[in-house]
Amino acid sequence: MKAVIFAGGTGTRLWPLSRKKSPKQFEKIVGDKSTLQLAVERLIPDFSFEDIYISTNFQYCEMIQSQLPKIPKSNYFFEPEKKDVGPAISLIMGILNQQFPNEPVAILWSDHLVKQIALFKKILKVSGEYIKRHNKKVVFIAHKPRYASSNLGYIHIGKEMTKLSQLSLYSFEGIKYRPNEKTAQAFFKSGNYAWNLGYFVTTPRFIHDSFKRFAPNVYKNTEKILSSYGKKTYISVLKRQYGKVESINFDNAILENLDKKDGVVIVEDIGWSDVGAWEALKEALEQYPYENITRGKTYLEHVRDSLIYNYEDKKLIVGIDLDEHIIVNTSDVILIAKKSSVGKIKNLVEQFEGTEHEKLT
């Protein structure tokens, strides 16, 4: 079984820690390891380092080598430019299809937290075993929703089909990419929908064939790139041809078009969180409501429901009479915001483009 971890995003909502030169997946957001390192750590020893692949941008190659020295450089898949996830998965599964067409492959992400690691490992193992026997299907690894969210996709689950190692596998009834708030509330109340984490297990051949069927333009461009894979011309062909591929979301391109018979769903609570924004990170780490989450040297009096991260060893952050604040101190930027306002960070960083502050993005 193989695993592909995507590590190419920029993570603007976690600014000022996450920057273009060193995005969130390479930073120590939790403990002393990056979320990319944690993502790989969750797979070992069930997966060998040779069976783990990283999808990223050329500019992050050295950081990956530094953080994950045991993963062969030949296991890096490069995205020359940002084209959403659809083209990247098409290329990766096309390459793996040349080598391991019917071997189970898990698609995973580098910027998530998973608290129930043993359960997560078990789900991957069961999913792989199922795909070995049903190599023209997708096993969706879904999560029991903790609340209604319009920022996440949903998977419509049906009846229990079977059990493997005490894990229930449900019928796949469809997928919905980021519904509006009203629909998300309805999904949550129904009990028939689960969060789509973007985690799934399938075979390279099935996904490669699905692009040919549902996204022929992406498939044709991918085939032109694949024809040079393993040759000296590969990188130049990749850079030239990848720019011609349409930018399309994988859910929209493939998953929403799958027949119901093509998928099964495992729904569990693995303690998953997408720590893509400061308020999401706080929610993931807090053990009780309104807890303060801190890192580094801090001194707090009468502070409630705040996240205070200090990455400067020579400075002490002192907080007095604060409520629902996000404070992040780096070597060149201090962010101070109400927790309810951190959704504005992404637009703020975009406004820095073309100004004297662009170097801070």
- Does residue 168 sit in helix, strand or coil? strand
**For the chain, what is the mean pLDDT?**
95
Are 201 and 124 within 8 A, CB to CB?
Answer: yes
d(CA 253, CA 30) in angstroms, rounded, equals 33
Matching residue, tokens 């604040």: 325
pLDDT of residue 175: 92
d(CA 103, CA 105) in angstroms, rounded, equals 6
Are 307 and 292 within 8 A, CB to CB?
Answer: yes
- Please state which architecture CATH assigns to domain 2-274: Alpha-Beta Complex (3.90)
Are 214 and 90 within 8 A, CB to CB?
Answer: no
pLDDT of residue 117: 97
Chain region(s) in the chain for CATH 3.90.550.10: 2-274
Least confident range from 123-132, 295-304, 341-350: namely 341-350
Are 3 and 106 within 8 A, CB to CB?
Answer: yes
Q: Read off the pLDDT of residues 229-282 as tens digits, 9 standing for 90 and up.
A: 999 999 999 999 999 998 999 999 999 999 999 999 999 999 999 888 899 899
Cα–Cα nearest to 281, from 327, 313, 347: 327
Q: Read off the pLDDT of residues 42-65 as tens digits, 9 standing for 90 and up.
A: 999 999 999 999 999 999 999 999
Q: Read off the pLDDT of residues 161-207 as tens digits, 9 standing for 90 and up.
A: 999 999 999 999 999 888 899 999 999 999 999 999 999 999 999 99
What burial class does residue 37 get, using C-beta atoms within 10 Å of its C-beta: 0-12 exposed, 13-18 middle, 19+ buried?
A: middle
Q: Where are the beta strands (DSSP E) in the chain?
A: 2-6, 52-56, 76-78, 105-109, 112-114, 138-143, 153-164, 167-176, 193-202, 263-268, 272-274, 293-295, 298-304, 307-310, 317-323, 325-329, 334-338
Per-residue pLDDT for 83 more than 90? no
Indicate the residue type of 299: Y
